[in-house]
Amino acid sequence: MSSGTDVVVFRVADHGALLVTRDQGAVVRGELLRVLREHGADTVEVHLDGVDTYTPSFMDELLGKTLVEIGRDAFRDRVRLVAARNEVQKLANLVLNNRLASLRGPAAKKR
Amino acid sequence: MAGVQHLLMVARVRSGRLEPAEIVTASTEVLAAEQGEAASLLFAALRDYPAGDVAANVLEILQELAHRSASWARVVEKSLEKRGRCPPPLRAQLKRLLAEDRATPVGPKESLGDVITSDVFSEFEVERASGAVSPSETAPFERSRSMLGRFRGRVPVSRELTDINGMGRLAAVLAALEDCDEITLDFQGVEHVYVSGLTAIKAWSETHGVKVLCVNTSPETDAYLDVVGFSGYKPARSHLRSPDFLTPGLENVLKSEAQDVADRLVTLIEHHCPLGAETRSGLLIMFAELVENIHRHAGESTTAAFACAQVYPKRKKLTVCIVDTGMGLAQSIASGSNRELASRLQRGESALALAKAPLLTSKPDRHSGYGLYVATELILRNGGTFRLISGNESLTLYRKNWRRHESFAPVDRGWQGTWITMIIDLESVLPIKDVYLTLPSLEDSEKEDFFG
């Protein structure tokens, strides 16, 4: 994480309590990317708590595609994920790692 | 790993290091987590537990289980009887608990949902237990040509034709009548019908422009037809329609966003039967994913897609039907941009098996494809039943005696599109947290922690 930068908080819950579709994920991703652009080198803390229900589709659309768009290093450098619930952490890590594997190449096997 | 934790609990019970109160908690946790093998070991350990108050604790567990689900209590009963270690007081208590369950009143006649439920679920159990599910068996129907050259069909509707077991038979009948201008559904002698079959008929009739006439209907059938909303059908006796057990109508999936359909369905269900937070989330996720699958995969040619739910408050059951008349799973895979998946289909792999597997999607990316997998996992862990018909295949999933059953069967003249019917046990949780925590990842993916 970069040092000497401000932290901008991005609360996913501000976009709804029921976030389940890819379309919804795309809208929230657009907002997240806008915040990332507007705040230059600052760290953006993405708070995933406060949302009742996530789906893998939404999470992939929001986080997975953000990682693809800005790249792994920039994602790790500028995005800090925050979630208290284990299953939310698992879901977020899952879609991000799947995206990383996908970026590495299509030849790998699927489970 | 939940399984390991439960085995450790077993070890602690065996070594006498678990307090009686903890045994109760551990047992219910094991069962709630659907760790069938661990549960069996735990009960075996309880048998040997040296403390004098084991029977009292087992009774407490059984009371808890009987409260949650009689079928669980029966499992425990069988387990203890098999070991010949069921003390007489416990046996008496079990008998009383199970007798109470069997004697649960189905309610007065006006409580249509309960009357129907007591029929449908007992019959369903018998059919699947005997292995007699045969979706390819065609039900009788007539097809004739009028003097004006128009085709007409007549289908004698039976109760069984509209329930989850009748999906294949009904699909075959409707496929044979696609060129008809009009079909008559004859409900002679039928008192009860189910939303799954009627919802599918509704979608089929709208897609093919077939007029549906209903004759010899009972008051109960009138109520269902009214709710499902057959165009031009005016029920004469819809006095039995009650918000207590039916959703007030079909959800037209094509006219709403997936999250709105899911939200409305769950709100309605919750209105009739209180839901725990996790089950509520599970239902929302399942409905949203299945409806979004229709939006994304059914194709632009889809003209009808509906969702309908029925709650059986006293039996704590929920039936949900989600149906579309789009391209179906096989064509979606064949025409999708994931060539590897398409070639596996060409090599003869089941389209339904491919669609159900995690991380397989007709889209080119390898990151997605959890929707149908999550839905089926939720139903299996809940103890419910899931049946899907698409094209010429059907898939049935359920769990019995701790074992998962999965069967694929051919469907003669199958369903154009995708037709899902689910039976959910509202006494058991829909464990979305467990499903998420055990979601498989790509084999070659790293396990980076983005929260670190």
Dump pLDDT digits (tens) for A52-67. 889 999 999 999 999 9
Helix (H, G, I), strand (E, B) or coil at B388: strand
Tell whether the torsion through CA atoms of B81, B84, B88 and B89 is positive or negative: negative
Mean pLDDT is lowest, of B265-269, B276-280, B390-394, B441-445, for B441-445
Mean pLDDT is lowest, of A80-94, B12-26, B317-331, for B12-26
Mean pLDDT is lowest, of B45-59, B344-358, B385-399, B407-421, for B45-59
Return the residue of A nearest to B339 by Cα.
A106
Q: Are B278 and B285 in contact (CB under 8 A)?
A: no
State residue B122's pLDDT score: 33
| A96 φ, ψ (degrees, to nearest 5) | -70, -45
Helix (H, G, I), strand (E, B) or coil at B311: strand
Alpha-carbon span B336 to B333, nearest angstrom: 5
State residue A80's pLDDT score: 95
Q: Which of B113-127, B304-318, B421-435 has the highest mean pLDDT?
A: B421-435
State residue B357's pLDDT score: 82
Q: Which two tokens stand for residue B41?
A: 């070991």
Please state the domain extents for chain B: 2-102, 112-437
State residue B50's pLDDT score: 46
Alpha-carbon span B124 to B387, nearest angstrom: 12
Alpha-carbon span B341 to B349, nearest angstrom: 9
- Could you tell me what percent of chain B has a pLDDT over 90? 15
Tell me, which fold does domain B112-437 have in CATH? Heat Shock Protein 90 (3.30.565)
Return the residue of B nearest to A91 by Cα.
B436
Enumerate the residues of chain B whose CB falls inside 8 A of the CB of residue A56. 368, 370-371, 374, 439
Å from B270 to nearest chain A CA?
16
Neighbour count for residue B208 (Cβ, 10 Å): 18
The total number of residues shown for chain B amounts to 452
Enumerate the residues of chain B whose CB falls inside 8 A of the CB of residue A50. none
Return the residue of A nearest to B279 by Cα.
A53
End-to-end CA distance of chain A: 33
List, for residues B69-126, the tens digit of each pLDDT value. 555 556 666 655 655 555 565 666 666 655 654 433 322 222 222 222 223 333 333 2
- Mean pLDDT (whole number) for B258-276: 87
Q: Which residues contact A60 (CB under 8 A, 6 or more apart)?
A: A22, A25, A95, A98, A99, B367, B368
Q: Which residues contact B239 (CB under 8 A, 6 or more apart)?
A: B219, B223
- Could you tell me what percent of chain B has a pLDDT over 70? 60
Among all chains, which residue has been given the structure tokens 């499903």? B435
Q: Which of A19-33, B84-98, B216-230 has the highest mean pLDDT?
A: A19-33
Alpha-carbon span B287 to B283, nearest angstrom: 6
Which one, of B278, B292, B324, lies nearest residue B417 by Cα? B324
State residue B156's pLDDT score: 87
DSSP state for residue B166 in the 8-state scheme:
G
SS3 sequence, A35-61? HHHHCCCCEEEEECCCCCEECHHHHHH
**Confidence band of B387 (pLDDT split at 50, 70, 90):** very high
Report the residue of A70, A97, A99, A104 to disrupt the B interface, i.e. the one with the largest count of B CBs within 10 Å: A97
State residue B102's pLDDT score: 47
pLDDT greater than 60 at residue B68: no
Q: Which two tokens stand for residue B85?
A: 């270690």
DSSP state for residue A12 in the 8-state scheme:
G
Mean pLDDT is lowest, of B25-34, B280-289, B304-313, for B25-34
- Could you tell me what percent of chain A has a pLDDT over 90? 71
CB-defined contacts A:B, below 8 A: 128
Alpha-carbon span B393 to B408, nearest angstrom: 7
CB nearest to B448's CB, from A55, A64, A100: A100
Q: Which residues contact B398 (CB under 8 A, 6 or more apart)?
A: B128, B379, B380, B384, B385, B386, B404, B405
| ipTM for the predicted complex | 0.87
pTM recorded for the entire structure: 0.72
**Confidence band of B58 (pLDDT split at 50, 70, 90):** low
CB contact under 8 A, B292 and A57: yes
Q: Which two tokens stand for residue B73?
A: 């209590």
**Confidence band of A43 (pLDDT split at 50, 70, 90):** very high
Q: Using CA atoms of B372, B378, B381, B383 in order, give the dihedral in degrees to the nearest 10.
A: -100
Instruction: Report the relative pairing of strands B317-324 and B403-425 from DSSP bridges.
Output: antiparallel
Q: Which amino acid is at B425?
A: D
**Confidence band of B26 (pLDDT split at 50, 70, 90):** low
